[in-house]
């Protein structure tokens, strides 16, 4: 085990170099053409078999044959943000930036492929999944993980592991927990209709702004009165629009928002009760339209994979660098994979001083610790393949 850590450390400058290359040439979701080409040529150079165009711009590297088979996943897409950093590896593409750390995920996974291509796998195989478009979905609601799953990327795969760098977590820290790790996300788009009229004569119309206020309040009651207090749930209105002038009651108000939950049963209560809150519009003489756009499920980390990853981390890191937790109400489409087969997802701390935030235009990470992510994934894959007990 120590040898893979040492090899990862020796590979550190290459990993940093790859990450900084990706950082300079970011591409948006489902447009990761040059990124995929760069990865493919490196994988082939390492002696890893490459399958292109899995999930549109995604690609897969394969080492070994048959089962057990473990998949390791990195995402490839950047964000529509203009990089304001002045470092020499800042984005060279105006308005596009790796502001979430997916550049680091690709670089770490390339490191794993290089290391394991030089190891004789006793049995089974490893799939290196380079997934496009994690940050969103196309107009038909298809994200990168959905597209790859549809193309059969998990066929014959027994388990999957993914990691995310975390710029708000002390550098070099490994953070994981069993069970829920990210939230399910659904989006809604609503419209409350009334009847427009003069603001001085409200009785002549039906005021959709007043009705919206009742609906918004009722939605808060869904969270506080309808959901088990021990179950996390969020409904946030992020966009509300109605009206054109101070003295006109408008005919309609548009309300959009996000729904977050962990437990699938809570997820369905939230959707049903959001609809019931909107139905209040009819009690006030108005009407409504509500569209709920289904997003990703929550990540529910498989306990045996978490145990395996923790064992690996203990061999690599001092105990104070291994911490429990990581659950937040953010979403991550790794859940599309881990909903299909046993999966586990963890954070690697990459905090700079001063720290930067994900999705911010000055986002940057401490890339000197990326070799740790490579070592953890590589060791976890080897350990998984040599396990006696199957999942």
Give contact residues for Zn ion (rule: CB under 5 A).
Answer: 100
For Zn ion, the closer CB: 105 or 114 = 105
Closest to Zn ion by CB, 125 or 163 = 163
CB 197 to Zn ion: min, Å: 44
Nearer to Zn ion, 133 or 180 (CB): 133
CB of 296 to Zn ion, least distance (A): 12
CB of 23 to Zn ion, least distance (A): 14
Q: Residue 362: is it exposed, middle or buried by C-beta count within 10 angstroms (0-12/13-18/19+)?
A: middle
- Nearer residue to Zn ion within complex by CB, 99 or 215: 99
What's the min distance (Å) between Cβ of 81 and Zn ion?
Answer: 10
Nearer Cβ to Zn ion, position 217 or 357? Answer: 357
**60: number of Cβ within 10 Å:** 23
Q: Which residue is nearest to Zn ion (CB)?
A: 100
Report the residue number, 100 or 215, with the smaller CB distance to Zn ion.
100
Q: How far is the CB of 338 from Zn ion (least distance, A)?
A: 15
Q: Are strands 197-198 and 287-294 parallel, antiparallel or unpaired?
A: unpaired
- The answer for residues whose C-beta is within 8 angstroms of residue 339's C-beta and 6 or more apart is 297, 300
Quick one: angle between helices 33-46 and 102-117, nearest 10?
Answer: 20
Omega cis (within 30) before 68: yes
Distances (CA, A) of 132 to 22, 52, 80: 14, 12, 15
Let me know the angle formed at the C-alpha of 338 by 335 and 339, rounded to the nearest 5 degrees. 80
Beta-bridged to residue 332, according to DSSP, are: none
For 338-382, the DSSP string reads HTTS-EEEEEEE---SS---TTSTT----GGGHHHHHHHHHHHHH
The smaller minimum CB distance to Zn ion, of residues 166 and 171, is found at: 166
Taking the complex as a whole, the smallest distance from the CB of residue 251 to Zn ion amounts, in Å, to 38
Shortest Å, Cβ 358 to Zn ion: 6
Among 57, 295, 39, 323, smallest CA distance to 186 is for 295
Beta bridge partners of 253: 192, 242
């Amino acid at each position: 085990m120590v040898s893979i850590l040492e090899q990862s450390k020796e590979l550190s400058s290459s990993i940093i170099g790859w990450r900084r290359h990706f950082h300079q040439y970011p591409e948006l979701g489902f447009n990761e053409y040059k990124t995929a080409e760069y990865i493919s040529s490196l994988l082939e150079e390492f002696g890893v078999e490459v399958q292109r165009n899995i999930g549109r711009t995604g690609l897969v590297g394969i080492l070994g044959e048959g089962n057990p088979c473990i998949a390791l996943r990195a995402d490839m897409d950047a964000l529509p943000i203009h990089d304001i950093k002045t470092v020499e590896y800042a984005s060279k593409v105006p308005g596009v930036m790796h502001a979430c750390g997916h550049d680091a995920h690709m670089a770490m996974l390339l490191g794993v492929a290089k290391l394991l291509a030089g190891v004789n796998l006793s049995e089974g195989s490893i799939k290196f999944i380079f997934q496009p478009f994690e940050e969103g979905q196309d107009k038909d609601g298809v994200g990168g993980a959905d597209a790859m799953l549809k193309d059969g990327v998990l066929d014959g795969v027994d388990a999957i592991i993914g990691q995310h760098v975390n710029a708000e977590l002390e550098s070099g820290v490994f953070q994981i927990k069993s069970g829920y790790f990210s939230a399910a996300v659904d989006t809604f788009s609503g419209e409350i209709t009334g009847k427009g009229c003069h603001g001085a004569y409200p009785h002549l119309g039906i005021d959709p702004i007043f009705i919206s206020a009742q609906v918004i309040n009722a939605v808060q009651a869904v969270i506080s009165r309808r959901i088990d207090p021990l179950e996390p749930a969020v409904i946030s209105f992020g966009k509300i629009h109605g009206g054109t002038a101070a003295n006109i009651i408008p005919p309609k108000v548009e309300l959009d928002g996000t729904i977050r939950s962990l437990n699938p049963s809570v997820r369905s209560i939230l959707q049903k009760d959001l609809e019931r809150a909107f139905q209040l519009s009819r009690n006030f003489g108005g009407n409504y339209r509500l569209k709920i756009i289904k997003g990703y499920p929550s990540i529910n980390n498989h306990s045996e994979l978490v145990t395996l990853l923790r064992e690996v981390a203990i061999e690599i890191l001092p105990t104070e660098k291994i911490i429990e937790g990581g659950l937040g109400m953010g979403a991550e489409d790794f859940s599309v994979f881990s909903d299909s087969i046993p999966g586990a997802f963890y954070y690697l701390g990459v905090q700079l001083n001063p720290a930067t935030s994900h999705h911010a235009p000055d986002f940057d990470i401490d890339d000197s610790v990326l070799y740790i992510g490579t070592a953890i994934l590589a060791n976890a894959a080897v350990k998984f393949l040599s396990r006696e007990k199957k999942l």
